[in-house]
Amino acid sequence: MDSAHRIRLGINAIHEFGSPEFTSKVDPVIYYQYQKDNWNFYMGAFPRLNLLDHYPRAIFQDTFSYYRPNVEGMLVKLNTRTGHQIVWIDWTSRQTDIDRETFLFGLSGYHKTGILFTSHYAMMFHNALPGIRIPGDHIQDNGAAALKVGVDLSGKTVFDSLTINTGGLISFERTRTIGDWQTPVGLLLEMHAGYKRFGITNSLYLGEGHNLINGDKFYTAKQYNRTDISFTPIRYRNIEGKFTFSLHMLEGVTDSQQAFSLRYNLSGSRSLSN
């Protein structure tokens, strides 16, 4: 519309290999964006990518971005000289006679001074009742908060990127009228190193188990360690292909998973033939 006001349209589609449908889920993207100086405001159905995909997996599991790629609500982001602050709300279901009213809301932020940085994350999921009450049903509140402090040594060692951080995680949940707040806590330790086309990230959790509806279920354990080893064999212009091997270790059990992602980043006008 002008230098500050934009309306964007699109779709977000997912196809799972082996599914009989070509697209098992298509989400429309339509939103208004205001961008001026240090402020960003979004309202409508807009992609979660690059806005809310930085939350710890304990709070939002990584598959959440696949099966709910859009935020349906509002988000305000303030960019500062040393970082940013974000406040948002996402309606996930509207109330009908048989459907529950559910929504997510939260805030997050990042601040960096020199090599030191802090980050914070908070989220609450409100699971209300349908229009026609179900006997024995109750309203649920399910949320979490995390605070991290760390050092960013990227460019100061032989590694292209190197960060180390630690912090605390607390979750809070209750079923109204039948129980009090449950508030398990724990310690997060994380390290990431990247060199050329290789990367390794190790995430360790120690503490009490959490029951987060949208969080990674591995964090129901009291001790959990995840190691991600990645290799990027394809990196050409706007195309990147990455292979990641993940090793999960928790309470005497070891498991693994593998993933390969191929992404073409649309940024301005590009020709694939050049």
Reported as a single tens digit per residue, the pLDDT across 185-202 is 999 999 999 999 999 999
Residues in the chain: 274
Residue 138: pLDDT above 90? Answer: no
Contact call for residues 154 and 181 (beta carbons, < 8 A): no
Segment among 131-145, 165-179, 200-214 with least mean pLDDT: 131-145
Stated as kind and residue range, the H or E segment containing 77 is strand 70-79
Read off the tokens for 210. 């959490």
Tens of pLDDT, residues 82-135: 999 999 999 999 888 888 889 999 999 999 999 999 999 999 999 887 888 878
3-state secondary structure of 217: helix
Rounded Cα gap, residues 123 and 111, in angstroms: 19
pLDDT tens digits along 48-87: 999 999 999 999 998 888 899 999 999 999 999 999 999 9
Per-residue pLDDT, 124: 96
Range 258-271 average pLDDT:
78
**Helix or strand run (H / E) with residue 67:** helix 64-67
Please state the domain extents for the chain: 5-264
Label residue 274 by pLDDT band (50, 70, 90): very low
Q: What is the mean pLDDT of the chain?
A: 92
**pLDDT interval class at 268 (50, 70, 90):** low
Fold for 5-264, please state it: Porin (2.40.160)
What is the per-residue pLDDT for 133?
81
Tell me how far apart the alpha carbons of residues 184 and 202 are, in angstroms, rounded to a whole number.
22
For position 103, what pLDDT does the model report? 94
Rounded mean pLDDT of 264-274? 61
pTM of full prediction above 0.85: yes
71: burial class by Cβ within 10 Å (0-12, 13-18, 19+)?
Answer: buried
Provide the 10 A C-beta neighbour count for residue 143: 21
